[in-house]
Chain A
Amino acid sequence: MSSYVITVSIFIVIQAIVAYGLNIIVGYAGQISLGHAAFFGIGAYSAALLSTRAGMVFWVAAPLVMLITGGIGLILGLPSLRVRADFLAITTIGINFIVEALFLYVPFFGGALGIGGIPRVRFMGLRLFGTSYLGLCLLCLGAVILVSWWFTKCWAGLACMALGEDETAASSMGISPVRFKLLAFVIGTAMAGLGGALYAHQMRFIAPSDFGFPVSVMILSLIVLGGMGTLWGPLIGAIILGALPEIFRPFTEYRMLLYGVILLIMIRFQPSGLLGEDSIIRKILKKYWTGGNDEK
């Protein structure tokens, strides 16, 4: 593989990791968030600061980064307990702008210049980049998918999904809205934090604009495209939306237009996403895999 393909792949994998986090919050727990890039950024900045200022190695810093991001996610998830649907969407947009502004205007975060000189990740003395770094990212992606899968199977996940479907009915079944909304926010934002850490060590230089509102929109588009609340949707979405701009590189100015058109087409014709329930692809897969036996 050429280093170009590897670099693109690394970004696709990182985006997928962040998208899996959003999928927990939006797809499973049904809490709309348009500020996910804020947590991606918090992860990236924590990783950058821990490695450049505190001199921490990645392996120690990464779990810490997830703790920090998840902790902030817990606090910033609090509005979801009070406001719903469209109001929550606006609140999360606000959170995104505030976090980006903090990175930009607080000198501690390096201001508009961002943070540079982030070292590469080392493993047993070896500097990881290119293929080996892609391997690390894939491992993390695997872990994130595993956690997502476990989430759909465990009791807490069932509680979150019930809440996402019908909050009133769920709470009258004994499911505490407070606890499980926040749980979804913590898990989802911690995943974004992990993605952020990987991003920081890949770019080795980060700036506030990497984590702005358009990035949140892109991550949301990606899970809408792939299929919200499905296990493989975020990955498919990340691959398609990550690879398309590279394939259509000559039309790079039209990238946002392309996103818009794809989203509109999806919402009109496949509202549940490529892998969502009742989608064309799912029907075809079902036909081939189960020989037409409709099980679920």
Chain B
Amino acid sequence: MLLQVNDLNISYKEVRAVHGVSFSIEEGELVSIIGANGAGKTSILNALIGLVPCGRQSSIFFSGKDITSLPSHERARKGIRIVPERARVFPRLTVYENLLTGIYGLRAKVDLKERLEWLYGFFPVLEERREQYSHTLSGGEQQQLAIARALISEPKVLLVDEISMGLMPLLVEKVFEILGDLNRKFGITILIVEQNALASLRISNRAYVLEAGRIVMKGNASMLIQDKRIREAYLGI
């Protein structure tokens, strides 16, 4: 088990956003957590990278080690990387500098030139714009930069937060295609949290359905996509 989350509780002051959520991800899997706005998806990802504290009984294991109390920058070093909601690239750094921040502390372990070549193959636009300030990129380009910035460190697991948000449909398709390729061709373990259930279920192995902070359903993605309740609630069919 690469990532194991037990009884995750997240509260913001008195408001509890996530109630006793447990899930796990095997190495090489692509797993989705789908749910509506405010279901607690982003909270779960933020807890995984250590940006929000989780409740007392909660525990998070990564490669068999308890990381529940590690600060986020140490989790990043262990190989957990996130593509944050709305990309959050560093606006006044250039595209290239943004990519460099991704391998901070791992310079010795990563072959920068080879990694860049590999990434530019996926996202040619990043090579064209490498000297441009990243705030001059379009929304879609910033998302690509955010993915590349996370991938450059050869992460063990990639967390992807609402990547479809604010992207035009054509780009959403392309980005999901890339995520699917990364998983199938390069064996990268990916956890996606998404509102766009159809797009993420299509490329996933397994999925969890989150409602009001609780997991209400789980199973193989191919099975869930056929499920009547899912189709009604999330796919609008």
B147 at the interface (CB under 8 A from A): no
B119 touches A (CB below 8 Å) = no
Minimum Cβ distance to chain B for residue A279 (Å): 14
Given contacts A169-B90, A173-B149, A174-B76, 15 further A-B contacts (CB under 8 A): A158-B93, A158-B104, A159-B101, A159-B104, A161-B97, A162-B93, A166-B88, A168-B88, A170-B90, A171-B71, A171-B73, A172-B81, A173-B73, A175-B101, A229-B92
Within 8 A of B (CB), among A148-179: 155, 158-159, 161-162, 165-166, 168-177
Give the distance to chain B from A272, nearest Cβ to Cβ, in Å.
10
Q: How far is the CA of A46 from the CA of B137 in the complex (A)?
A: 49
A-B complex: 7 closest residue pairs judged by Cβ atoms: A174-B76, A165-B90, A169-B88, A171-B72, A176-B73, A162-B101, A171-B73
> What sequence of 0s and 1s flags, for each residue 22-63 of chain B, a beta carbon within 8 Å of any chain A beta carbon?
000000000000000000000000000101000000000000
Q: Is A174 a contact partner of B93 (Cβ separation < 8 A)?
A: no
Contact with B along A263-296 (1 / 0, CB 8 A): 0000000000000010000000000000000011
- Tell me whether A173 and B88 are in contact in the complex, defined as CB-CB below 8 angstroms, given that A162-B93, A168-B51, A296-B94 are known contacts: no
Determine which residue in B91, B100, B104 has the highest number of CB atoms from chain A within 10 A of its CB, and name it.
B104
* A-chain residues with CB within 8 Å of residue B93 when the two chains form the complex: 158, 161-162, 165
Q: Mark B153-187, 1 if CB is under 8 A from A, else 0.
A: 10000000000000000000000000000000000
| Bound: A259/B217 CA distance, A | 63
Residues from chain B with a CB closer than 8 A to the CB of A168 are 51, 84, 88
Q: Least Cβ distance of B232 to chain A in Å? A: 35
A263 to B101 alpha-carbon distance, docked (Å) = 33
Q: Which residues of B contact A296 (CB under 8 A)?
A: 94, 131-133
Interface residues on B, range: 20 to 34
Interface residues of A (CB under 8 A from B): 155, 158-159, 161-162, 165-166, 168-177, 229, 277, 295-296
Q: Which of B78-106 contact A (CB under 8 A)?
A: 81-82, 84, 88-94, 97, 100-102, 104-106
List chain B residues, Cβ under 8 A from A175. 73, 101, 104-105
Q: Which residues from chain B sit less than 8 Å from chain A, CB to CB?
A: 49, 51, 71-74, 76-77, 81-82, 84, 88-94, 97, 100-102, 104-107, 131-133, 149, 153
Which single member of A158, A165, A176 contacts B91 (CB below 8 Å)? A165
With both chains docked as a complex, state the minimum distance between the C-beta of A86 and any C-beta of chain B, in angstroms. Answer: 21
Query: A165 is contacted by which of B92, B102, B131 (Cβ under 8 Å)?
Result: B92
When the two chains form their complex, are residues B104 and A155 in contact, meaning their CB atoms are under 8 A apart? yes
Docked CA distance A296–B81 (Å): 28
- Assess A277 versus B104: contact at CB under 8 Å? Given A166-B90, A172-B72: no
B84 close to A173 (CB less than 8 A):
no
What residue of chain A has the Cβ atom nearest to residue B87's Cβ?
A169
Q: Which residue of A is nearest B94, CB measured?
A: A296
Contact A174 B153 (CB under 8 A): yes
Partner of B97, one of A158, A166, A171, A277: A158
CA distance A113 to B71 in the complex (A): 49
Q: Are B133 and A277 in contact (CB-based, < 8 A)?
A: yes
Contact call A173/B76, Cβ cutoff below 8 A: yes
Q: Does the CB pair A174–B77 fall under 8 Å?
A: yes
Which residue of chain A is the closest to B90 with respect to CB atoms?
A: A165
Q: Are A172 and B49 in contact (CB under 8 A)?
A: yes
Taking CB atoms, residues of chain B closer than 8 Å to A277 are: 92, 133
Q: Is the CB of B90 within 8 A of A162?
A: yes
Complex Cα spacing A228 to B25, Å: 45
In the assembled complex, the CB of A229 is this many whole angstroms from the nearest CB of chain B, namely: 8
Q: Can you report 23 A-B residue pairs in the complex whose CB atoms are below 8 A from each other?
A: A155-B100, A158-B100, A158-B104, A161-B93, A161-B97, A162-B93, A162-B101, A162-B104, A165-B90, A165-B91, A169-B89, A171-B76, A172-B72, A172-B76, A172-B81, A172-B82, A172-B84, A174-B77, A174-B104, A175-B101, A277-B92, A296-B131, A296-B133
CA distance A177 to B102 in the complex (A): 15
> Roughly how many angstroms separate A283 CA and B123 CA in the complex, as a whole number?
30
Hey, which chain B residues are within 8 Å of A162, CB to CB? Answer: 90, 93, 101, 104
Minimum C-beta distance from B206 to chain A (A): 24
Distance in Å from the Cβ of A162 to the closest Cβ of chain B? 5
On chain A, the residues within 8 Å of B131 by CB distance are: 295-296
Q: How far is A165 from B97 in the complex, measured between Cα atoms in Å?
A: 12
Instruction: Pick from B72, B84, B94, B107 the residue with the most CB of A within 10 Å.
Output: B72
Instruction: State how many angstroms separate the Cβ of A242 from the closest Cβ of chain B.
Output: 28
Cα A181 to Cα B131 in complex, Å, equals: 26
Q: Name the residue on A nearest B98 (C-beta).
A: A162
Measured between beta carbons, the chain B residues less than 8 angstroms from A295 are 131
Residues of A within 8 Å of B100, CB to CB, are 155, 158
Interchain nearest-CB distance for A177 vs B (Å): 7
CB nearest neighbor in A for B132: A296
